[in-house]
Chain A
Amino acid sequence: MSVVEGTKGLSRVKELYQDRPHRVKELKAEGRKVIGYLCIYPVLEMMTALDLVPYRLFGDMREPITKADACLPPMVCPFLRSSLDLALKDKYPFLDGMVLAHICDVGERMAHIWRTYKEYPYFYFMDVPHTVHKAALEMFKEEIKGFQKSLESFTGKELSSERLKQAIGVHNDQRTLVRELYDLRKPDPPLITGTEVLQVMVALASIPVEEGNDLLREVINEIKQREEKPQKQAVRLLVWGSIIDDVSLIETIENVGANVVMDDICVGTRSHWPKVELTPDPLDGIANRYLEGIKCPRTFREAALDQGGKNYMANLENRFGYLKDYIKGWNVNGVILQSVRYCDTHGYEVPAVRDYLKSLGLPSIYLEHDYSQSSLAPLKTRVQAFLEVLG
């Protein structure tokens, strides 16, 4: 499907959602270099500052995995398998480079496999520590410096501190705008559906940040002015867990009688909530944002010993306290925890998140799926049953 010239707001979002590479192909034709990346740890500000176009890669839960079977087994994350499968099927001929990161065990292994079987003019593997220890933050800052050097070498340009600060500003603008968009989910009924929000998030990951900011402004204005609102439902849900890059699951939930009003996923708040603090050395702010600021279970956190580090509830508060703000601010009365099968970092987390939610008096359900369309159908019944209990 081609994108219609001049479309704006939600129409453009839908077009981009359905034909993600459309815009980057245009930019590529104009001479811009497009860098693919997975997950939310590669530093976008640096790519933007060097006039590169970062393009986030997702999987495709509608496409059977065939080629990746030969090098990544079925007992690992189906999302990562699907992502690699698409690359092996040459779905990204427009990429000039790739940045992959040490996000989890399989993500790390897959990066090396990807690099072996797909050659790009540029490739970087970014190490990301698993803790937020002081030494880890220092090490991560050095790692980011290494990433900067590699980008400078690839582009033949030197990245000035000023240029980087400008890019930080533009990306922070986007984070502010996303929060404005999420504020539109606070009324009852929300002014925008969970499905629409996910489409916006996917669209933002497909275009340069400046264009994304313009798009967000259009969408926010459109939503504020439109008369047709989502139907009010008895249940307002937060969806937590591993990546969701296809609207099917959210649609399924919303179609059986709930408003999805908030999320804690990496195509949503996890990728957009934390901002980069403008520090004298911008790399300090960047390191802190990407390691400490992003709340993904792949990073170990614990309350300091003098802040109750031995105590389970104190640790839960330290790890999941932000969820309390989401729940209160968006008036959430139920939580769906979901994960792709074989995601260890989320799998270990589930009982603890449920304990925390229970301590807040909030009911929850855990759904596991194999990142395919067919695996979602059986979940519908479970969601319905959950909503009945809540309703």
Chain B
Amino acid sequence: MVQEKKRAINRLETMRPIRAEIDETYKQSVEAVKAGNPIAWVMVNMWLGDAILHAMDIGAVYPESYGAVCAAMGAAQSYLDRCEEEGFPTHMCGYARNCIGYTARMMKDLGGKIPPEAPMGGMPKPAVLLSRGSSCDAGFKWFQALARYMDVPMWTLEMPVPGVKEGLSEGVRERNVEFMAKELREFVSFLERIFGRKMDWDKLSQTVRDLEEIGRVWRETNELRKTIPCPMHSRDFWTCMNGPTTPTGDLKKKLKLYRDLYDEVKHRVENKINAVAQEKYRVGFTELPPWHSLKVFDTLAERGWNFVVETWGYHPPVPIDLTGVNDPLERLARISYSGFTTGSFQGAMQAGEYMGFLGYPNLEYAKEYKLDGFFLHPLLSCRAASAHLWYVQDRLMQKLKVPSLLIEGDIVDVRMFDLADALKKAEAFEEIMDHYKKVRREEGMEW
């Protein structure tokens, strides 16, 4: 009997049904469109605005997630090439180029039919495009560019982007929350006009509460990862990260799955079960991973690297007090603004840090998760995910003596990531992590 090689990363069992549920929900969306139901293409987590779609029974497909699927399944290259042929610059977002290439193929070559080679049943033509004005410029420019191929209405959901100091000025938070609630109301009106159906406000209230609860459980799960050794690897985080923010499928079922996940991680903590065999280095990962080359994490796990925390923006918002807030739109606005966008501002201001959302949380993570280092992954085609990483590297070193390894790559385009080179650099980085562990101790830091 051949003995199965033990995997270096001890994946969570409860992650698998979550993945299966996400995949199944996606397939149901595709089937729903084939049956004549309308569907929206949606930017991931347009600050939870997609809860509104769920309450209105509008199916959602997430082209960003589909970009990751195409990359992981080796199907992205032909769509990237097609995008280039269409006249778009090659430096643009890999997800966007994958989607634009895909759409050009579907609409220009196949008259709106799903390309037969598309993984997971493809993305059916949407009835509406729903983008976001926050997180990245591609979040709205990419969908706007799709208008070349589809006469489909579009809405861009706004989100304030204040500076740390300005955001903490008197009255700014309430003003921005009020703006977001208004913006959501306009968004609801837009959808009602497009789809000719009315919002079910009771259902929306329930959806928002369900999402809050899933988010709470998911956050507590991640809090358990502060334990040494860490019971859950970033690979499991990435598999599950979209569930709490994308309200697709049966939310009660989803909540149960996330509670199971929490129980398993808790069980691991109580029984000292690690995510990697020997946790030698506790590492944070910033920005999205190279989906096409995830084996890099298996190799590093064999060397004792445990990835224990990821980018703030992919984690659930910090809990906030919503007592007395009954309007579901205001709840969404408050969760997104106070818990997510500006949730780190108070700490940032106290620390004299001005990059609240993308920068300062890494410093907090380094302390709270007792990190030996960071793996920073600038995405060569994504300015939003990369522009700040050199700065983050400097702040981590200046303030906490935590070193970071910058390895350039891309989420979709495999040509931009050199696996062998990354591993070589990682090996050399171990000495640096060892050195700074001593430095931190000499300087009286906790870890």
Contacts and interface: CB of A to CB of B under 8 A. Distances in A.
Contacts of B144: 300, 302, 348, 352
A108 B161 contact: yes
Contacts of B164: 112
B85 to A, nearest CB: 11
A344 B92 contact: yes
Interface stretch (B52-60, B68-76, B174-182, B423-431): B174-182
A368 B89 contact: yes
A366 B186 CA distance: 37
Interface in B352-370: 353-356, 358-359
Q: How large is the interface on B (under 10, 10 to 19, 20 to 34, 35 or more residues)?
A: 35 or more
A311 interface: yes
A106 B156 CA distance: 20
Given A309-B153, A344-B92, 20 more contacts: A71-B391, A75-B378, A105-B384, A109-B358, A109-B388, A112-B164, A125-B166, A136-B183, A146-B166, A300-B133, A300-B141, A310-B153, A312-B147, A339-B89, A347-B91, A348-B145, A350-B88, A351-B87, A352-B144, A368-B89
The 5 lowest CB-CB distance pairs between A and B, nearest first, are A125-B163, A130-B133, A348-B141, A112-B355, A139-B179
A386 interface: no
B160 interface: yes
Interface in B164-223: 164-166, 169, 172, 175-176, 179, 182-183, 186, 190, 193-194
28 contacts: A70-B390, A72-B387, A72-B391, A73-B387, A73-B389, A73-B390, A75-B91, A75-B386, A102-B161, A105-B137, A116-B353, A125-B166, A127-B163, A130-B140, A135-B179, A136-B183, A138-B182, A139-B160, A139-B176, A150-B166, A297-B141, A300-B140, A309-B153, A344-B141, A345-B141, A350-B88, A351-B86, A352-B145
A104 interface: yes
B178 to A, nearest CB: 9
Contacts of B92: 344, 347-348
A334 to B, nearest CB: 17
A146 B169 contact: yes
Nearest to B150: A312
B161 A127 contact: yes
Given A146-B169, A344-B137, A348-B88, A110 B147 contact: no
Contacts of B158: 129-131, 133, 135-136, 139
Quick one: which of B93, B148, B358 has the most chain A CB within 10 A?
B148
Interface of A: 69-73, 75-77, 102, 104-106, 108-113, 115-116, 123-127, 129-131, 133-136, 138-139, 142, 146, 150, 297-298, 300, 302, 305, 309-312, 315, 339, 341-342, 344-345, 347-352, 354-355, 366, 368
Contacts of B186: 133-135
